[in-house]
Chain A
Amino acid sequence: MVAQYFLLLALLVISGYFFGSLRARSVAGGNFASMHSLPEYHGLYTAALVLAPMLFIFAVGLPSLLKVAEASALGHFPADLRADPLKSSATLRDIMNLASGGHSGAVAPELQDAAKTYSDLMSRGGWLILGLGLSAGLCAISWGVSSVSMSFRARNNFERFVNVALLLAASIAVLTTIGIVSSVMGETYRFFFDPNIKGKPGVFDFLFGTEWNPQAAMRADQGEISTAYGFLPLLTGTLLITCIAIAVAGPLGLFSAIYLAEYASPKVRATAKPILEILAGVPTVVLGFFAALTVAPFVRGWGEYFGLNVASESALAAGLVMGMMIIPFISSLSDDVINSVPQSLRDGAYALGATKSETIKQVILPAALPGIVSAFMLAISRAIGETMIVVMAAGLASNLTFNPLEAVTTITVQIKTILVGDQEFDSAKTLAAFALGFVLFFVTLLLNFIALRVVQKYREQYD
């Protein structure tokens, strides 16, 4: 149905353009100079007239059709099933499978009926939408064609369409943010305050609890394993790995940037910059593989050599590799900032007899400090939100520790662990992942905001 609709849409849009411009040509009769708009614009205007209502019909029609079809298919089942969101969604999946012919095994008669109702409604509704779209498109074409005249301002009208389209495109970013905020915040709100969710913690327990264990006991013989949603071990784990990463990437990135900006010959710059760019482009899943299979055993081996007890999924290994990941981030941002410090400051320092390193330490770095701080902030936010390296190299054990040789877990690892695989959507466990996501979003937003403010507030204006 979807494919047919878009085929029809394309067909009508093209014919709209064709008829509109054809009509304009015949109206003008060769005298284009005295016509307000070129024939192409009449065609484009007609095409736009077709496109807008047809997209609208699709965007409204399909979801409402789905809703109606689902509701009437579920009408074959008793009311208590319909009231239970879990069961009804499972039944719906069966119905859809059956309707698309993918169901195997014996089928209950009511399920059969429901599937029949569903596919009947879907096909009839599909035809209805197609018909609606077709008639709207045809109306639009005839309207567009009939409005062609010598004085009709087709270009201005078409440009108004384009303006709206451009604005809509630009606001997708805002819609995305709204989508993130509403979904994450909505689920987080339910996690804390929805009375129907069993086993949810209080806000205080969440923020200051020292135990994280979203997995409840599955069987009786596993004894008393109760769920706990204490956020602190995840926070300390995340901070520990981030600290290690920044301890690695901070000096390496900053010194690389200083060397590249102040000392390096153009030749060195031309080779070192691409190396950093390549490092920045390495997918994190690759770095995770490297961390888990090469760095972690290496760290463990060295630890044992010195008689230390290192966990096989130590925070140190994950932090080291994550540090490597954010080096290019820090170095490229700092490089830009250092380069933007005006030459006159350097010349002034040299004139006073300062050596190059003294100039850098006492003049350039203080001048570039806001930018460097903001680079570090952004790097921290990147490290906190990084998922694959920690998923592959850090563990699942939620230890409340600051020992880099032990296994810790992070916010992102827990989100991934909870949400991968089948989940029931209304359990406290699933909602907890959204709460963690909210924390993550909020923290990175905050860091980003601080970075922006630091630059705005403390930046020296030299020009």
Chain B
Amino acid sequence: MTDMTANIPTSHVRRLNFASTEAQARVRSRYRTEARFRWYGIAALTVTTVFLVVLVADIVVKGFPAFWQNSVYLDVALPAETVDPKGNRDTAEIRGADYNALARAALAAAIPGIEGRAAKKQLNELLSSGAADNLREEVVANPTLIGTTVKAKLLLSDNADLYLKGDGTSITRYAATRGIATPTATTGEVKVLVSSNDFAEILVSIKRDLELRGGALEREARRLDGNPDAGAHVKELRAEAQGLKDRYSKPSVAETLDARMPTRLIATNGGLIKISAISDSEATGEVLLPLTSTAEAKAGDWQIVTYETPEASRNVNDRMVTFLEKLKAENKVASNFNFAFFTSGDSREPELAGILGALVGSALLLVVTLLICLPIGVMASIYLEEFAVKNWMTDIIEININNLAAVPSIVFGLLGLAVFLNFFGLPRSAPLVGGLVMALLVLPTIIIAARAALKAVPPSIKEAALGVGASKQQAIFHHVLPLAMPGIMTGTIIGMAHALGETAPLLMIGMIAFIVDVPQGFTEAATALPVQIYLWSDLPEPAFQAKTAAAIVVLLVFLFLMNGTAIWLRKRFERRW
């Protein structure tokens, strides 16, 4: 070393001046880079954490309301002639009576004076098609109720439920103070005359709405201008915009309202009128809730009500909003914990759908998976770790297991379809087949975990057993395996959690059918929790979105419990040798 240094000519030695400004700038920039690099790491972790938090929060917020459900409490008359016409208290006959009709009658009694087919239909749509299920069971269990009037809890339909949960419109009301309002009739088409220009502000805001809408049309037309295919469409847009302009450019001319504007109503004489045409001091409209009289209402005695969200952008129409608001004001609706979600199977009606069928399906599937996976996984890992002689066969098995762990899950579904269903002729949609496929899917995971657990047991244990005369199998089964068991159980639980959340292979083997009944056995058609989530997420009803999120919450709780158990096991039984 010293010789070499001595031989270097002095002219080749670079002298660095660390005090120079360039050098200091260089150091500063290096430290800046250092800080920046560190921040990249923090940013990456933060983004990941934020994503997880947003994911969980989004799902919980979406799903939480689905654990509650709104019902309406009404006095339902149970006349003997409809419930039990023959009077013999036969259970089958009592069960067969039309309780929904009774429930509808009770609702009609609660909101009296509704006329017209459409209005009655919309009133009935407030109730779920399974609204009277509880009532039926109650009457069947207690036939003495027949002939009396009971206070029954009737389930509301999905849209009504969503509305009451706040997924509808905000409502503002203000008392009109200037003029005296006089309606011309109590039902049907009504004209309301006002002695002053109380409606002027509404008219102004309608004109403003129209102006905004016209502006949007104009912009859209301008955007499409360059596009040769959209010529006719642009012309239509322009014509529509012009029509709107004609309306909003004349500020005092009477206007008609449509479903794309907030709904305006007049509350007077105990009723409610939905305005369809309006001028400064006169409004025409349809009665939603009948008025008690045509008497004139003094200033301050009548109100202008606005449903802020336009009818076209909500799932409940104005009439249903009105009915629900009336029921709410009379304290007839209440929200209860949705037990049915955990005790019933799937349904086409969101408010009746539950996850019990899917939970049982998943449980059956996991039982099959566990029964196959645990013994085979443990045996395979013992063989590979303790008995396998290093030869080509062992190599093939090892490479195979590592490769299988990386094979996409959907390919296992193909295997299940081709081998279990088409070759062995096992039943479609059955938890048995699902369990078999899942077992093959998680087997590599379990083998890898079990091998790690076996490897972690120090060889001295085995050698001590061999030293006192145990056979190799005795040493392993009596001494090594029990010590490795906590690790194996941890791996198995994590594998089971994986199997619980896996969806794609189950779609391949047909566990995706719409199944109402809770499965009773391993070979019956069933679905599983993640598949149920997938099925519900595909449905158009907005109420199913909340159900999907709620089912996800349940799935995540189960996964959390399983992984928590695994971590607890690891903490509790982990041994350092």
Chain A residues packing against B (C-beta within 8 Å): 63, 66, 155, 159, 162-163, 165-167, 169-174, 176-177, 179-180, 183-184, 186-187, 251-256, 258-260, 263-264, 272, 275-279, 281-290, 292-294, 324, 327, 331, 355-358, 360-361, 378, 381-382, 384-388, 391-392, 412, 415-416, 419-420, 425, 433-434, 437, 440-441, 444-445, 447-449, 452
Contacts and interface: CB of A to CB of B under 8 A. Distances in A.
A277 B48 CA distance: 11
B250 interface: no
Interface of B: 30-31, 33-34, 36-38, 40-45, 47-49, 51-52, 55, 58-59, 62, 375-377, 379-380, 382-384, 387-388, 396-397, 400-404, 406-415, 417-419, 422-425, 440, 443-444, 447, 471, 473, 497-498, 500-504, 507-508, 510, 512, 530-531, 533-534, 537, 545, 548-549, 552, 555-556, 559, 563
Contacts of A382: 406, 408
Contacts, number: 251
A99 to B, nearest CB: 14
Contacts of A356: 34, 37-38
Given A279-B48, A444-B407, A388 B503 contact: yes
Contacts of B384: 170
Contacts of B379: 165-166, 169-170
Contacts of A387: 408-410, 503-504, 507
Given A278-B52, A279-B48, A173 B397 contact: yes
Contact of B552 (A255, A258, A289): A289
Nearest to A392: B537
20 contacts: A163-B387, A170-B397, A172-B440, A173-B380, A174-B400, A251-B44, A282-B52, A283-B500, A284-B504, A285-B534, A286-B556, A289-B549, A292-B537, A294-B58, A324-B48, A357-B33, A392-B537, A412-B410, A416-B504, A448-B403
A437 B411 CA distance: 6
Nearest to A291: B55
| Majority DSSP secondary structure for residues of B touching A | helix
Contact of A386 (B42, B58, B403, B408): B408
Contacts of B444: 173
Given A155-B471, A283-B500, A441-B407, 4 more contacts: A159-B471, A166-B383, A173-B443, A419-B414
B58 A281 contact: no
B45 A176 contact: no
A173 B501 contact: no
A441 B377 CA distance: 23
B530 A283 contact: yes
Contacts of B382: 166
A283 B559 contact: yes
Contacts of B500: 283
B38 A259 contact: yes
A437 B379 CA distance: 30
A355 B34 contact: yes
Contacts of A187: 418
Contacts of B48: 252, 256, 275-276, 279, 324, 327, 331
Contact of A283 (B400, B502, B512): B502
Nearest to A156: B471
A155 B477 CA distance: 14
A156 B440 CA distance: 31
Nearest to A356: B34
A434 B418 contact: yes
A313 to B, nearest CB: 13
B408 A440 contact: yes
B43 A170 contact: no
Given A166-B387, A259-B45, A284-B503, A290 B376 contact: no
Contacts of B559: 281, 283
Contacts of B534: 285, 288, 388, 391-392
Contacts of A360: 37
A286 B58 CA distance: 11
Contact of A420 (B59, B397, B423, B507): B507
A221 B512 CA distance: 31
A316 to B, nearest CB: 15
B387 A385 contact: no
Nearest to B498: A281
A445 B34 contact: no
Nearest to A416: B507
A387 B441 CA distance: 15
Given A258-B41, A259-B45, A170 B530 contact: no
Most B C-beta atoms less than 10 A away, residue of A170, A183, A378: A170
B565 to A, nearest CB: 13
A275 B380 contact: no
